[in-house]
Amino acid sequence: MPHSQTVTDKVTDTDSDVLIIGCGLAGMTLALSLPPTLRITLLSKGAAHECASAWAQGGIAAVLDASDSIEAHVQDTLTAGAGLCDETAVRRILEQGPAAIEWLLGHDVPFTTEVNGQLHKLHLTREGGHSARRIAHAADRTGHAVHQRLLQACKLRKHITLLEHCTATDLLQDAQQRCIGAAVRHADGRVQQLRASHTALATGGMGQIYASTTTPTCATGDGIAMAWRAGCAVRDLEFMQFHPTALHIHGKAVGLISEALRGEGALLYLPKKDGNPGERFMLRHDPRAELAPRDIVSRAIDAEMRERHLPYVLLDITHQSREWLAHHFPGVMALCAAHGIDIATQAIPVAPCAHYTCGGVQAYVNGRTSMAGLWAIGEVARTGLHGANRLASNSLLECVVMGRAAAHAMAAQPLPKHCIIHSSKRNEPKGLSPITPLEMQQSLQQLMQQNVGIVRSNHSLITAAKQLVLWRAQWRAADHAVRNQLTLCSLMVDAALQRHVSAGAHYNLDWPALEEATA
């Protein structure tokens, strides 16, 4: 019988050796890599399968081919990150790529293979910004395949307690400001203090602060907000990556179209009046065309849409056979078919959407933060791997590498005793609020979409900053979720105003590009 514990079970023991907040790839990798002698509590905000990791389509970047090299992967990452990566962190993470894939294979992740002579080997695809084929994948549902296998493994471990539908609301600290756990709210409204010797944030990103996003509803940035309130350092929040190709139906994003399509030859076109592909446009914007890094492709699409008043552009892969598409992109085929689009014969309407948080809680590669007892791994962390713009498929790799490194670091430390709990810093006052939480969230999303999107200006950022000041005063009685998003929006806008160059995912019309400013 699986040992996992759901919210309907009675929770009597509030102490753990390790509390992991977040049940995505980073959190589960940490849980599975820790010694079985440790008591581990793994929290999931919703159902365990509802996370960004499970939604990932493309794959995991790692140097697995003899014609490729770690140095080439490093240089591709530094280029995509606009030179703002931490090169030491980049090398440490990318060097662990082959070991990370081996670890996942050890958990029976069903990566796509191909026959090479008499041998079966991993099929490697290519995505934008990569100079070689180095993306290991499970068709176009890599995240689902990985998450399913690791979740099964977690449920079978007797020392791992899985609590679903539990939302962490605040970090707990002792008198020395060491993190000693978190306060959580269960689905039935119970609030509980879960104490732990080590607390790991694996809460993912904050794409839900935008009206149009590819991220699941749980991606609200709670981990970043909680860490900041508790006095932890955060960095690079201005770098919100927009994915170039979200499926757009009736003016709304309804799903992600994997970048791997462009890696396999899909091209971007302007739509003609009859709806068919017209002019190909990416070569006007970058010599790498459709295989340029995501920030460049997103801005190019955005510019064409604005100039021509288009609701979307077209992504065309009809040069591939139906059988080939069904084998390599079954998920994309099914998503599009659900909206009446046959990708074997029709181009796909796409537009950019908020996708990935490049910044976050400042952390080392092993997840250690500026606060004793607190670790941050995966998208919630800012290691310096991504710089100003994430290179495609480096994120799942970061989750595995950080999870394993954090487990090693935790296991090497003696377990401190629990101490008296003190309140977190930066508590915000409460008062009356005139509108509902849903209305607040929608207002925030529209503000960020319009003023802090793919292209920004000093005027748009100052407009957003002024409105956020007003809302922080008016919405003091908002629930913790809205207050978290208010905090995150304010932190992002402040960071964007302080960045006096345009770099990667932060493009400000009033400041020169980084390469021009440093020339």
Annotated catalytic residues are: 294
Between the alpha carbon of residue 501 and those of residues 235, 434, 498, 505, 518, the distances in Å are: 16, 38, 9, 11, 10
| The pair of three-digit structure tokens given for residue 489, joined into one six-digit string | 């929006």
| The pair of three-digit structure tokens given for residue 39, joined into one six-digit string | 């008591």
| The pair of three-digit structure tokens given for residue 124, joined into one six-digit string | 């490697």
Rounded distance between C-alpha atoms, residue 19 and residue 366, angstroms: 16
Closest CA to 391 of 300, 292, 298: 292
Alpha carbon 130 to its chain's center: 19
Rounded distance between C-alpha atoms, residue 242 and residue 354, angstroms: 4
The answer to whether 248 touches 351, Cβ cutoff 8 Å, is yes
Which residue carries 């914007």 as its tokens?
285
b/e burial code for range 231-258 (CB count within 10 A of at least 16 → b): bbebbbbbbbbbbbbbbbeeeebebbbb
Rounded distance between C-alpha atoms, residue 118 and residue 65, angstroms: 17
SS3 490: helix
Measured N-to-C along each axis, helices 222-229 and 480-498 cross at an angle, to the nearest 10 degrees, of 80
Beta bridge partners of 166: 186
Rounded distance between C-alpha atoms, residue 166 and residue 183, angstroms: 10
Cα-Cα-Cα-Cα dihedral sign, residues 114, 116, 118, 120: negative
Closest CA to 402 of 364, 369, 360: 364
| The pair of three-digit structure tokens given for residue 402, joined into one six-digit string | 């950080």
